[in-house]
């Protein structure tokens, strides 16, 4: 199949692509802007790029890199009522110290307002996940290796928070793959034939706001698609043209159903520290409504800096 797709790619380049064009694969069509068309004539392999989009690990590795570095992060998390009123919040700076093998965190002058805790434990599920993903309690050692924090392809042996975090990692780091979530798992596999028909895919050339020249892969739901058919509404990934390193990704995930509802938007930006890429900025704006729990509406931002 790979050879057939490559021959299709060669056919389009030989006959001469227009200022913008469309290439049709076995499961989806992809729009190319004029800059990408020109690049393809000079050797930019579109097929390999699509494969890289689906299997890239550079974004995941960037988050693993922070385990072996010292840094500061500013965390601003707010929980809202249905009327948009802030009912609980956490604002504080975290200082992580790491020698590359073990790491500890210190919370610097946190400001906590509202009913953030219940019996000295975090009250909100979103806040618990934020704490679990980005905070370290006590000294943690032996976590600097990538293989120590692998994402499980099959979550059957996981439960509770571990399972939810594993599936969240899949959606963030490997967008387009099937997630082990009841009722919606198959809908996250946007490159499969039964889901790709609901999307417009494109590759464009853009300069990111940091001045980096990028190829941008975008998947967005077609305007005439029924909302219930899709979960991934929008994904935009920026690849540095010089290295094909992911430097930013934006998401919109949404589902309304009988079992649960959610509507989540995330923007994530990376930066380079010496020879490693690491997260620089994360924004989250989301709503969750799951059985046996009160609906949660929250926003948070995390800024990472002073990497050492």
Domain spans of the chain? 59-190+230-305
Q: Say what the pLDDT of residue 71 is.
A: 97
Q: How far is CA 43 from CA 3, 36, 243, in A?
A: 16, 10, 15
Task: Please provide residue 167's backbone torsions phi and psi, each rounded to the nearest 5 degrees.
Answer: -70, -35
Pairing mode, strands 29-32 and 21-24: antiparallel
Check if the beta carbon of residue 278 is closer than 8 Å to that of residue 69. yes
Tokens of 108: 């610097």
7 sits in which H/E element: helix 2-15
Q: Say what the pLDDT of residue 164 is.
A: 67
DSSP 97: E
CB neighbour list of residue 16: distance below 8 Å, 6 or more residues apart: none
Q: Say what the pLDDT of residue 42 is.
A: 61
Check if the beta carbon of residue 78 is closer than 8 Å to that of residue 286. no
DSSP 184: T
**Residue corresponding to tokens 């905070």:** 135
Could you list the pLDDT tens digit for every one of the 308 residues in the chain?
444 443 333 333 333 344 456 656 556 677 877 767 666 666 667 777 777 777 788 888 888 899 899 999 999 999 999 899 999 999 999 999 999 889 999 999 899 999 999 988 999 988 988 898 889 899 998 754 443 455 555 555 666 667 666 777 777 777 777 777 766 778 888 888 888 899 988 988 999 998 999 989 999 999 888 888 998 999 999 999 888 899 999 999 988 877 778 899 999 999 999 889 999 999 999 998 877 778 899 999 999 999 99
**Residue corresponding to tokens 């800096």:** 305
| CA torsion, ordered 13, 16, 22, 27, to nearest 10 deg | -30
Q: Say what the pLDDT of residue 59 is.
A: 84
């Amino acid at each position: 199949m790979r050879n057939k797709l490559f021959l299709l790619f060669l056919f389009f380049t030989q006959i001469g692509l227009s200022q913008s064009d469309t290439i049709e694969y076995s499961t989806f069509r992809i729009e190319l802007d004029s800059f990408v068309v020109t690049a393809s004539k000079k050797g930019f392999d579109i097929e390999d790029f699509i494969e890289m989009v689906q299997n890239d690990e550079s974004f995941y590795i960037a988050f693993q890199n922070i385990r072996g570095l010292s840094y500061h992060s500013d965390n601003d998390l707010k929980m809202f009522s249905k009327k948009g009123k802030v009912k609980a919040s956490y604002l504080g700076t975290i200082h992580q110290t790491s020698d590359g093998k073990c790491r500890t965190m210190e919370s610097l002058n946190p400001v906590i307002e509202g009913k953030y805790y219940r019996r000295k434990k975090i009250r909100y599920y979103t806040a618990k996940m934020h704490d679990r993903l980005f905070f370290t309690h006590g000294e943690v050692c032996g976590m600097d290796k990538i293989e120590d924090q692998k994402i499980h392809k099959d979550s059957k042996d996981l439960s509770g928070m571990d399972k939810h975090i594993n599936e969240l990692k899949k959606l963030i780091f490997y967008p387009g793959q099937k997630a082990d979530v009841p009722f919606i798992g198959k809908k996250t596999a946007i490159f499969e034939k039964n889901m790709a028909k609901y999307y417009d895919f494109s590759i464009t050339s853009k300069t990111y706001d940091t001045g980096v020249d990028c190829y941008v892969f975008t998947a967005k739901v077609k305007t005439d698609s029924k909302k219930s058919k899709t979960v991934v509404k929008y994904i935009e990934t920026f690849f540095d043209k010089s290295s094909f390193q992911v430097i930013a990704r934006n998401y919109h995930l949404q589902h309304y159903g009988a079992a649960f509802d959610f509507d989540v938007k995330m923007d994530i930006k990376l930066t380079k520290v010496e020879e490693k890429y690491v997260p620089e900025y994360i924004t989250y704006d989301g709503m969750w409504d799951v059985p046996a729990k009160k609906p949660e509406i929250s926003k948070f931002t995390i800024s990472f800096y002073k990497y050492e």
